[in-house]
Amino acid sequence: MTTAATPRIVSLTLAQIVPHPRNVRHTLTDLAPLAASIKEDGILQPLVVAPGDTKGTYVLIAGHRRHAAAGKAGLHELPCLVRDDLTDKADQLQAMLTENLQRTDLNPIEEGDAFQELLDLGIKPAVLAKRTGRTAKLIRTRVKIASGPAELRDRVIAREVTLDEALILEGFSKYSEIYDQLSQYVGTRNWSWAVGRAKEDTTHLIAVTKRTKELTAGGVQVLDDDGLEEHRLRAEAVGLDRVWQKLDERPDDATSEDVAVTFPFRNPDKVQWHRLVDATVAAGASSPKKPAGKKTTTAVDAATDRDLEADRARVEADIAAANQLAADLKTATPVRRAHLKNSISNADTDIAAECLRRLLASQLGFLDADQILIFAGIAGLNPDTVSDNDLELWAYSLTVNQLAVALRVADSVESEESLEQLTGWQYRSYLGKNTAPWRDELGTTFGYEWSDVEADLLTQFATDAAKS
364, 410 contact by CB (below 8 A): yes
- CA–CA separation, 419 and 415 (whole Å): 7
**pLDDT band at 235, cuts 50/70/90?**
low
What is residue 316's predicted lDDT score, i.e. its pLDDT? 78
What is residue 227's predicted lDDT score, i.e. its pLDDT? 41
Give the mean pLDDT of 394-413. Answer: 96
pLDDT tens by residue, 191-219? 999 999 999 999 999 999 999 999 999 99
H helix intervals, 346-444: 349-364, 369-378, 388-396, 400-411, 413-418, 430-434, 436-443
Please give the share of the chain, as a percent, with pLDDT higher than 70.
87
418, 431 contact by CB (below 8 A): yes
- CA–CA separation, 50 and 199 (whole Å): 49
Specify the higher pLDDT residue, 98 or 71: 71
Give the mean pLDDT of 245-268. Answer: 86
Burial class (CB in 10 A: 0-12, 13-18, 19+), 61: buried
What is residue 239's predicted lDDT score, i.e. its pLDDT? 61
Please give the share of the chain, as a percent, with pLDDT higher than 90.
45
pLDDT tens by residue, 262-319? 888 888 888 888 887 776 665 555 544 444 444 455 555 556 666 777 777 788 788 8
In the DSSP assignment, the letter for residue 10 is E
pLDDT tens by residue, 155-189? 998 899 999 999 999 999 999 999 999 999 998 99
- CA–CA separation, 129 and 466 (whole Å): 71
Q: How far is CA 51 from CA 19, 46, 110, 313, 328, in A?
A: 12, 16, 25, 76, 62
- CA–CA separation, 437 and 414 (whole Å): 12
- Round the average pLDDT of the chain to a whole number and report it: 85
Comparing 128-142, 201-215, 410-424, the range with the smallest average pLDDT is: 128-142
Specify the higher pLDDT residue, 241 or 388: 388
Specify the higher pLDDT residue, 124 or 413: 413
What is residue 15's predicted lDDT score, i.e. its pLDDT? 87
Q: Which helix (H) or strand (E) holds 182?
A: helix 176-183
Comparing 1-10, 18-27, 451-460, the range with the smallest average pLDDT is: 1-10
Q: Would the pLDDT of 142 be above 50? A: yes
Give the mean pLDDT of 61-78. Answer: 88
Comparing 18-32, 115-129, 249-263, the range with the smallest average pLDDT is: 18-32
- CA–CA separation, 141 and 163 (whole Å): 9
Give the mean pLDDT of 47-55. Answer: 88
Q: Would the pLDDT of 231 be above 60? A: no
Q: Would the pLDDT of 383 be above 70? A: yes
Specify the higher pLDDT residue, 20 or 357: 357
Q: What is the DSSP string of 241-300?
A: TEEEEEESS--TTTTSTTEEEE--TT-TTS-EEEEEEEHHHHHHHHS----TTS----HH
234, 228 contact by CB (below 8 A): no
**pLDDT band at 246, cuts 50/70/90?**
confident
**pLDDT band at 240, cuts 50/70/90?**
low
What is residue 29's predicted lDDT score, i.e. its pLDDT? 67
Comparing 10-14, 24-28, 264-268, the range with the smallest average pLDDT is: 24-28
Amino acid at 29: T
SS3 90: helix
Listed residue (293, 296, 257) closest to 275, CA to CA: 257
Q: Would the pLDDT of 370 be above 80? A: yes
Give the mean pLDDT of 230-259. Answer: 73
Q: Would the pLDDT of 100 be above 80? A: no
Q: Would the pLDDT of 70 be above 60? A: yes
